[in-house]
Structure 1
């Protein structure tokens, strides 16, 4: 039996798990196999206490060009088996709701589902040459992982409608000006810039980052009073953690804290 080539590679650098898409000839379009491998890699990274941050990036000239439309067109659903949308929901959910910081290192084109993948990450670094856009309307496809539901929260309703209706790509710099991208760096410096940032994250308390991510994500769906109440509940729980006691002790003793994540 011929072994099916892997669609991505996984590399550990210090406390950072790099997940690199390897469907270069298909502009790293998401196939069902790629989504399964992504989910496996994300679940393994989440379960490994040595991993402090997760980075997603692409090979070649694309980050991700969206779903593999050839596979979508020819798909035959098997009853009882997950389809493409099930796999997208599960995999993107791991990114959105998982306890560890997930960073998109956008090396090139990020379109349609690729843009939605970017929005599922916590932070976005992009190469200067990167282009991002929602291309669903170009092919008569409706978004299903945040294009219409999340994009207006990221860039504002008017800009989101422009991206959705036009299907045009926007430069990484414009996307930073619009609030979707956190930092734009020269193409040759993207990996080093992201690694330097995640190295700094590795010195932070995993427990406090986990709680910050959870409360910040939920704050968009509730009013200010409820958001503040949840923040206070998490603070009270965190005050009993090893990491907070260790952080305060390290401050008083003028040394670097040794966080454990609980």
Structure 2
């Protein structure tokens, strides 16, 4: 890391916390922050000792979306499509991460910021969190994956309503419509508690379960059972440490 706009902490074994660190601007995404975020996530994705990654923001915001400087660059670009692909690299890297990813939404998450939230596997919000896909107010459509992740989370009709109206919703409404799984006083602390529970399982299992669900999402039932699950379970059963882990867990449950 050459700057401090993205900070990485390892509060416990196998857990990494990635913090967006432009608190004075509610962690708005400029070129520097996007580049450093992509570097951080790419590095963690290749670290086999990290099993859970928590994404959060410094200060009172999660991420307010794109910085005005980025909008200016896009507007003046000779190839806006190429620029959009370039600035979207962090959310693509986040989506592809093999680890379980948890968004700890400590405050406002708007536009691309909400895209980062929804690209995580699990979303936990503080009561101070606010969410908005506000592109339409600027004459724009969704990006940072929201055309895919928002309908998947809340349904197509609700996603269209939120995108067209640019409505800002609070944490409780986000929980009600399925955009977050929980609303708590301290999102980072709750995310860390959950991550601590998750990493009791072997890292290979966490990665396998995430991969299995991703493949099964677009498969029919027979394919999910006979191919995707069967292959994944076979790999886990045949791991040399399987019996030690399984017998230890059974002893814990019954004893």
What is the TM-score normalised by the length of structure 1?
A: 0.86
In 2, Cα distance between the equivalents of 1:61 and 1:138?
Answer: 24
Cα deviation for residue 255 of structure 1 reads 5.8
In 2, Cα distance between the equivalents of 1:19 and 1:78?
Answer: 33
Shift in CA distance, 34/202, structure 1 to aligned 2, threshold 3 Å: same
Taking the TM superposition and a 5 Å limit, the aligned residue runs for 1:96-175 are: 96-175=95-174
Q: Is the 8 A contact 2:212 2:229 kept in 1?
A: yes
Question: Counterpart of 2:243?
Answer: 245
Question: Counterpart of 2:83?
Answer: 83
* Alignment counterpart, residue 190 of structure 1, candidates 184, 187, 191: 187
In 2, Cα distance between the equivalents of 1:170 and 1:113?
Answer: 15
Question: Counterpart of 1:221?
Answer: 218
* Alignment counterpart, residue 204 of structure 1, candidates 197, 201, 206: 201
Question: Counterpart of 1:9?
Answer: 7
In 2, Cα distance between the equivalents of 1:149 and 1:54?
Answer: 22
Cα deviation for residue 152 of structure 1 reads 1.0
In 2, Cα distance between the equivalents of 1:218 and 1:180?
Answer: 21
In 1, Cα distance between the equivalents of 2:104 and 2:36?
Answer: 18
- What do residues 219-243 of structure 1 show as CA deviations (whole Å, max 9, x unaligned)? 2222222222211111112211134
Segments of 5+ residues of structure 1 without an aligned counterpart are 257-262
- SS of the residue corresponding to residue 103 of structure 1 reads strand
Cα deviation for residue 84 of structure 1 reads 4.8
- SS of the residue corresponding to residue 35 of structure 1 reads helix
Aligned length: 247
- What do residues 106-140 of structure 1 show as CA deviations (whole Å, max 9, x unaligned)? 01111111111111101011101111121111111
Q: Does 1:62 align with 2:61?
A: yes
In 2, Cα distance between the equivalents of 1:71 and 1:230?
Answer: 41
Q: Is the 8 A contact 2:115 2:146 kept in 1?
A: yes
What is the TM-score normalised by the length of structure 2?
A: 0.88
Is 33-42 or 109-118 further displaced after alignment? 33-42
Is 108-117 or 143-152 further displaced after alignment? 143-152
Cα deviation for residue 5 of structure 1 reads 4.7
- What do residues 138-190 of structure 1 show as CA deviations (whole Å, max 9, x unaligned)? 1112222222222111101111111100101111111111112011101xx32
Q: Is the 8 A contact 2:105 2:124 kept in 1?
A: yes
Cα deviation for residue 78 of structure 1 reads 8.4
- SS of the residue corresponding to residue 148 of structure 2 reads coil
Q: Is the 8 A contact 1:147 1:164 kept in 2?
A: no
